[in-house]
A and B are shown apart, each in its own frame.
Chain A
Amino acid sequence: MKNPAILFLLLVHPLMGEPAQPKPAEPKPAFRDAATNETLTAKFREVSKKDPVAKFEKYKGEDLSAQSKVGSLLARSELITFNGNTTLVPKNAIIRIPEKYKSRVNNHKPGSKILNWADFYRLNRGWINTIEVSFSQAKGLVTVSGKEMDVLDESGNLVVAVLKNSPVSVNPLKENTETTEKEKLETTKPEATKPETTKPEGTKTEGTKP
């Protein structure tokens, strides 16, 4: 060995460093006998005397929680399924369902992929049309009708009501509804998408033609 001193230093070096800092001891976990019914019953009797919300005024009105429940989305929706894809729209958003397309509504096939409305509509414009409605029409204060609707009826396509291109539920026209001047002004003529006469975009004719 040519330089035993170097080897000695290498061997000793780790020992010459700062003394290792002791790790802070982890707090010892609490140790106890498992609680039993007897111990917990006694404790519950004691803690029940302290009501955490005692300082607040008790509510004395009727229980209105039922009307604020969100509920199931599917129960409030209609499904449109075609060619391995499904989309949801709010209930009452489909305002025309021709007989030939009834099997495509609320008939979800297992394995069908859920698409958002925009993507689904882009693939299925060959047989789906939209009609832009006003908020008053959606509320059922003003009827959805007019030439545009007639054109859509003649097209034989399924018609979905949209508000700024998003599917919207349309309540049935309320009887004896007095439309206010403001609402009349708000009401715009429905603007329908033209029935598609060309092949649906991004799809093969055989796959999407009704």
Chain B
Amino acid sequence: MKLKFTSKWMAVLATACLTSAQVNAQYTNLIRQVQLGNIAAGDPVQTDVSVLPVGQQASPELINDTGARFELWTMDSSGAEIEELLIDTRYVGVYVPLADVTIRTEDTNSAVPRTRADRPIYVDLTISALRSGVDDPAASKSVKFKHHIQSYGDGGTGVGLDTDLATTLSEVMINENGVQNLTYELTSIAGEDRSKIRGEERFSIFALDDYQAVEHQLASQTVQVWPVADGTISGIENGDTIEFSTPPLTLAINDIYPEARVYAQVYQGEKRDDGFVGEVVPGSGVAVNEAVPQNRLLTIPDWDSVITANGAWTMELLTVTPFGIDRLAWVSFNVDRTISVRASSTTSE
């Protein structure tokens, strides 16, 4: 049996990945073909195939009855150590269900799916080529869907994460072709403070093991979950009255969502909950370009220019994210700058 294997789609993936990678990196792509089989039969035979950025070619090795896994790797040798990056894998066999996992969130700005601890996760599973005949092997009739969760820990960013330590949350069998749309209203990652969860959830589909081949992954995708930001406004208290110049303020913001903005605004009147747009407090704007949450501490020495009248005022500390605008803190205060002169005048005649 000889199957023609095309690396075109894989190579396109590689190119897309590399264009967004570091310019100075030296990347070399290769596909490793691993013949899968009974573990007792010994180490699987492995072959390397050099690949161009775009193209297609036949695999040099035959496909075993037990199937073969094709791994698309790219290697970066620009640093002191060789960096390896697994871009994708595909399994080819006699009977192989086809599966795809797509994660959707409200944050569409990132190539890697990500969301926040208070927002939903949507998982779309597409399964095809499952058989249903009485005589068909069990492994051709169903696939296994697994859901793993893993916390990054306090302040963690997932760097150097050992995914082997992930917790299996659920493991179910799916025996029907078609699309399954799953909704997870909130992250399932555990945490003492549910607003400060940071970690990742992995959704994977596996072909079942049987007498011919071991269990192998058909598709998998991971979503990162970042904490909800929090913040404080210091330097003015709720109910304070400003009679002279505005006091210096300190804005402390924790866990600003990746690529989010933070600013303070003021408007006349008591606190409103309708998303009213006020005047931005000068010096309070922060734009975060990092891919992981950030903390910021801002000092606002002078914000007199946005206080234009006497009366009740409200200041809000806001963050703008793909999920909308979140109010992190607010304070209402009064402004009374009426000058009253206590003096007496006399005339002498």
A residues engaging B (CB < 8 A)? 28-37, 39-41, 43-44, 47, 50-53, 56-59, 63-70, 72-74, 76, 79, 86, 88-93, 108, 110-119, 135, 138-140, 163-169, 171, 174
Q: Mark B160-201, 1 if CB is under 8 A from A, else 0.
A: 000010001011111100000011111000000111100000
Nearest A residue to B329, CB-CB:
A34
Instruction: Please tell me if B238 contacts chain A, counting CB pairs below 8 Å.
Output: no
- The answer to whether B61 touches A166 (Cβ under 8 A) is yes
Can you name 23 A-B residue pairings with CB atoms under 8 Å? A28-B275, A30-B324, A32-B327, A34-B228, A37-B193, A40-B194, A41-B194, A66-B164, A72-B84, A73-B86, A76-B32, A76-B46, A86-B82, A88-B48, A90-B46, A92-B43, A135-B45, A139-B42, A165-B60, A167-B48, A168-B46, A169-B45, A169-B47
Point out the residues of chain A lying under 8 angstroms from B73, CB to CB: 73
Question: Which A residues are CB-close (under 8 A) to B79?
Answer: 110
Question: How far is A67 from B207 in the complex, measured between Cα atoms in Å?
Answer: 13
Shortest B238–chain A CB gap in Å is 15
Closest chain A residue to B69 by CB distance?
A70
B262 to nearest A CB, angstroms? 11
- Bound state CA distance, A64 and B50, in angstroms? 31
Residues of B within 8 Å of A33, CB to CB, are: 326-327
Which applies to chain B's interface (DSSP): helix, strand, loop or mixed?
strand
Q: Please, which residues of chain B bring their CB within 8 A of the CB of A63?
A: 168, 171
* B82 A90 Cβ-Cβ under 8 A: no
A59 and B171 form a contact (CB under 8 A): yes
Q: Indicate with 1 or 0, residue by residue over B204-226, a CB within 8 angstroms of chain A CB atoms.
A: 00100100001111000000000
Name B's A-contacting residues (CB within 8 A).
Answer: 26, 28-30, 32, 39, 41-43, 45-51, 60-62, 69, 71, 73, 75, 77, 79-82, 84, 86, 89, 117-118, 123, 144-147, 164, 168, 170-175, 182-186, 193-196, 206, 209, 214-217, 228-230, 273-275, 319-320, 323-328
Establish whether residues A67 and B39, one from each chain, have CB atoms under 8 Å apart when the complex forms: yes
* CB neighbours of A64 from chain B (8 A): 209, 214-215
Output the least CB separation between A209 and chain B (Å): 24
Contact indicator A34/B62 (Cβ below 8 Å) = no
Cα separation A35 to B197 with both chains bound (whole Å): 12
Report the bound CA distance from A181 to B217 in whole Å: 34
List chain B residues, Cβ under 8 A from A40: 117-118, 186, 194-195, 228
Residue numbers in B under 8 Å from A115 (CB-CB) = 28
Please tell me which one of the listed residues B71, B145, B147, B172 contacts residue A73 in the complex, with CB atoms under 8 A apart: B71
CB distance from A190 to the nearest CB of B (A): 16
Q: Check if A171 sits within 8 Å of B325, measured CB to CB.
A: no
Task: Knowing A35-B228, A68-B215 are in contact, say whether A73-B84 is a contact too (CB < 8 A).
Answer: yes
Interface pair B61/A163, CB less than 8 Å apart: yes
Assess the B147–A53 pair: CB atoms within 8 A: yes
From B30, B82, B172, B196, contact of A57 by CB (8 A) = B172
CA distance A12 to B41 in the complex (A): 88
With A34-B326, A40-B194, A90-B47 already in contact, the answer to whether A140 and B28 are too (CB < 8 A) is no
